[in-house]
Structure 1
């Protein structure tokens, strides 16, 4: 693709990066141009365009359709995920928040709603599910549901399948592996595992763009995880996203962000509990 890289003009590159930011919030610096070309290389061929310049111009002119733009953004989106990533957040949820949330309901069992707002292929959402299931096993009385959303349609499809490479769950302890992970029955698929049905039926996934002006999500969410996403947005978009998320939290609900994002949350009505944990007042 050396020829394609040579003919990509700075103007087209700048226009495409602006379009990506407008549609997804993701800021692509100049240093990412090679990454963009590498990830979109196959789309140039599949759409019959002569080079990257022609592909991006056709894409931005709408000649390739909205689905192609969605696919392009999907391909350049960074999807980094793992089970129990930044584990201290899950410890805090299990040890501090859940006991608080299930008390004071006059003996009834509350229904808790959790949202993984940039779920990628679902590891975070299923980690939340494991935490909730384990808390129930410890004796806490509550019902629960987890929602995972992501801008990437392909990631949402993977999350719904709940199939992972065996090495992705290798760090789970024996109890979690035994209770919540199924090994493949087919020897040809021995390097793959799947989340057990008991968790899959409690977790839903849907495609959603955080840059949309409104979200088709309940407005009484107890816990939202949006981690390692705000770092890709500019200050204005970060503020808009946080305010929209805040509007979907119940009073007293919690927002978790990534460890490099604590200073990104600046919203009236949100109280900082920990450097990366906020409570809606």
Structure 2
């Protein structure tokens, strides 16, 4: 194993491990192939810091050795840990709050049962915010509603399914919502809250890669939340995913995007209805015919 960093292509990004230009390029290619994530050169330090943990756990000294370990076993468990490490999971309850009144108004008009897909669920704040909105909007009819919460990262899904959050994570929620939808922790969970069982029962967490050739989802959806995930994909990947969303939506379905995402390039499939809220193009054309 060559551990000499004194080559033109080698760059020592941190104190412990060697990450060469070639290694970084390989990492970018592999995560794009596996998860559709497009990493630019500005993400090099992030890649180093996140994957360095995997090298430490495995007792490796160079990224080249780690990448060789990955590629030697295309179906190995390390691939999921590699993907988890490079997935960004920034989330909060009722993040981009303007979407939730739109969802509430929409589902009140939807035939029962209402189904919503949260396609980048992270640690659960977003799908639980959706479930709370359904309860507030539908009342007793919410008992038949469901939220499918998917993510590529198995570690954050486990946290979401556990439904336990710190007081800091719920600090911006109104007191009324906090009392209605959470249980206060005690003992080992002192200083934390747990999502109430009736809310948790509405949400089903599943691992799903948006780049997978097949999505194991049976429902058609009244709304799909795909917020702040498309920004990590290149335009061809975005277009492919949007095309696959369309047949999974009910004719009246809405697609909710992140505040920095713009799907206007997919105008043959979706049209902007409001602030980062889209509807199927065929619905708008039928309404104006």
Same fold per superposition (TM over 0.5): yes
Which residue is 1:45 aligned to? 56
Q: Distance in 1 between matches of 2:107 and 2:14?
A: 54
Distance 1:149 1:265 in 2: 25
1:76-225 equivalences under 5 Å are: 76-94=86-104, 96-102=105-111, 110-137=112-139, 143-186=144-187, 188-225=188-225
| Runs of 4+ more than 4 Å apart | 139-142
User: Do the aligned residues in 2 keep the contact of 1:120 with 1:156 (CA within 8 Å)?
Assistant: yes
TM-score when normalising by structure 2 = 0.87
Secondary structure at the counterpart of residue 266 of structure 2? coil
**C-alpha distance in 1 between matches for 2:202 and 2:219:** 19
Kindly tell me: are residues 176 and 218 of structure 1, through their superposed partners in 2, closer, same or farther at Cα, counting changes over 3 Å? Answer: same
Q: What does residue 271 of structure 1 align with? A: 271
Matched position secondary structure for 1:146: strand
Over aligned residue pairs, what C-alpha RMSD do you find?
Answer: 2.0
Q: Please, which runs of 5 or more residues in structure 1 have no aligned partner?
A: 103-109
Q: Any gaps of 5 or more consecutive residues in structure 2?
A: 1-12, 284-289
Kindly indicate whether the alpha-carbon contact (under 8 Å) linking 1:242 and 1:267 is maintained by their aligned counterparts in 2: no
Alignment of 1:17-36 (within 5 A): 17-36=28-47
The 1-side partners of 2:217 and 2:142 are apart by: 25
Superimposed CA distance per residue, residues 160-189 of structure 1 (whole angstroms, 9 cap, x where no aligned partner) = 100111111111112111110111021x43
> Larger deviation: 248-257 or 263-272?
263-272
8 Å CA contact 1:146, 1:202 repeated in 2: yes
| Matched residue count | 269
Deviation of 1:267 (Å): 4.8
Deviations 1:221-245 (A, max 9, x none): 1110000111110010000111111
Structure 2 residue aligned with 1:241: 241
Give TM-score, length-normalised by structure 1: 0.89
